[in-house]
Amino acid sequence: MNNRYSVFSNIDWLTIALYFIIMLFGWVNIYSAVFDEAHQSMFDISQRYGKQMLWIGAALVLAFFIMLIDSKIFENFSFLMYILILILLIAVLMGGKEIAGSKSWFQIGGIAIQPAEFAKFATALALAKYLTQPGVAVRKFKYLLRAAIIVGLPAVLILLQNDTGSMLVFSAFALVLYREGMPAWILVFALVVGIIFLTTLMFGKWMVISFLSAILLLTFYFIRKQKKMIAVVVFFFALSAGLSYGVDYAFENVLEPHQQTRINVLLGKEIDNRGAGYNVHQSKIAIGSGGLLGKGFLEGTQTKFNFVPEQSTDFIFCTVGEEWGFAGSSALIILYVMLFIRLVFLAERQRSHFSRIYGYGVLSVMFFHFAINIGMTIGLVPVIGIPLPFFSYGGSSLWSFTILLFIFLKFDAERKQVFI
């Protein structure tokens, strides 16, 4: 009893309040997005808003039970859970159900469950567990590689399910590794690779390679007396030019045509408002037409008349933008930013490294979802079908984010007991 009291008195109610506000606002917007004259009750469980209410209820029960479980279990069984999830991910490849082109669902009764959703917290736990092994230091290349394998394994399995969106989420763990000492140059390197990647796609490999050559010649002029540096510079030049060439080759020969089109549409090289660009175009219209204060609850025409596809799941932010306007949508963004900052703060106050690393895992996964989901609805990143945490319609994603968050809140509530 004493133990339980301490959990609920030490819990971070601010995070729970933010969690709750975002979740309820999401529910209201799901109601608006799929509103049906015939089923006006928000609690009608034949409709998505009714179902979401059930999922929210279940998520709260789940959260409550997580708070009761001994947090040591998560730490001690983290590798076991990780391996279990890997087995499930392999199993779903063999016996799973294919929905919308992705073979990533288990059909149990009337409920479809996506193991990929639960792979997120299992990976976060396993990564935290590995990084707290004695002697493991991520700044050393050997350990960094192993950590990357822990993150990479489920990612590859999810990619095999043809669920690119969920796979990309695992790249978010780079932020955890960075925080734990991964050399910054890897991030810088990734940034340079990203710039070469984008510029190659936008302007073509020959433009990029000739630009790089110009830089090379300029650099030669300034460092002409340092022979050693010249070699280094030439090496980086060759690497960049090779990368540019490779990106171009990969784009033409590896990516599927619809993926190529998505990227081209995003980069503005192709305008296709009826085909590949339709979603984003309609999504931008919905958000843009909201104006400063929005059209009002249930008044969004883009939303009500189904111009935006997937509007209760991946494109739910359109409803916010259209009906609540700039005021509502920026308020939602501020709520998320507050939640993330709070999570960084909570992670930093952990005395246990395990819970700090896990906390950063939670933050990274949710931040990645937030960045990609909203970024795609306002046309800043390509369309990658991943949900907005706590906001989009769907039981699996709501539960997995709830588990992800509340395990961390449980660690946080017990942070003072770590050394007892």
Token couple for 328 = 């509502």
The single-letter DSSP state of residue 36 is B
Stretch that binds another protein, among 19-27, 61-69, 97-105, 367-375 (CB under 8 A): 367-375
DSSP lists the bridge partners of residue 39 as: 36
Instruction: Please report, to the nearest 10 degrees, the dihedral formed by the alpha carbons of residues 379, 381, 383, 384 taken in order.
Output: -150
CB nearer to another protein: give 363 or 365: 363
Q: Binding of another protein at residue 418 (CB under 8 A)?
A: no
- Minimum Å distance from CB 19 to another protein? 17
CB nearer to another protein: give 3 or 330: 330
Q: Binding of another protein at residue 21 (CB under 8 A)?
A: no
Stretch that binds another protein, among 4-12, 54-62, 190-198, 369-377 (CB under 8 A): 369-377
Q: Binding of another protein at residue 14 (CB under 8 A)?
A: no
Q: Binding of another protein at residue 323 (CB under 8 A)?
A: no
Backbone angles phi, psi at 249, to 5 degrees: -65, -45
Q: Binding of another protein at residue 268 (CB under 8 A)?
A: no
Instruction: Yes or no: say if 381 and 280 are a contact pair by the CB < 8 Å rule.
Output: no
Stretch that binds another protein, among 199-207, 209-217, 343-351, 399-407 (CB under 8 A): 343-351
Crossing angle for the helix pair 316-348 and 278-288, to the nearest 10 degrees: 80
String marking each residue 176-215 x if it binds another protein according to CB under 8 A: --xxxx-xxx------------------------------
Q: Binding of another protein at residue 140 (CB under 8 A)?
A: yes
Ramachandran region, residue 316 (left: φ > 0; alpha: ψ -120 to 50; beta: rest): alpha
Token couple for 147 = 């950590």
Backbone angles phi, psi at 236, to 5 degrees: -65, -35
CA distance 386 to 401: 12
CA distance 311 to 200: 33
Residues that bind another protein (CB under 8 A): 132, 134, 137, 139-142, 175, 178-181, 183-185, 229, 282, 284-292, 301-302, 304-307, 321-322, 325-326, 329-330, 333-334, 336-337, 340-341, 344, 347-348, 351, 353, 360, 363, 367, 370-371, 374-375, 378, 380
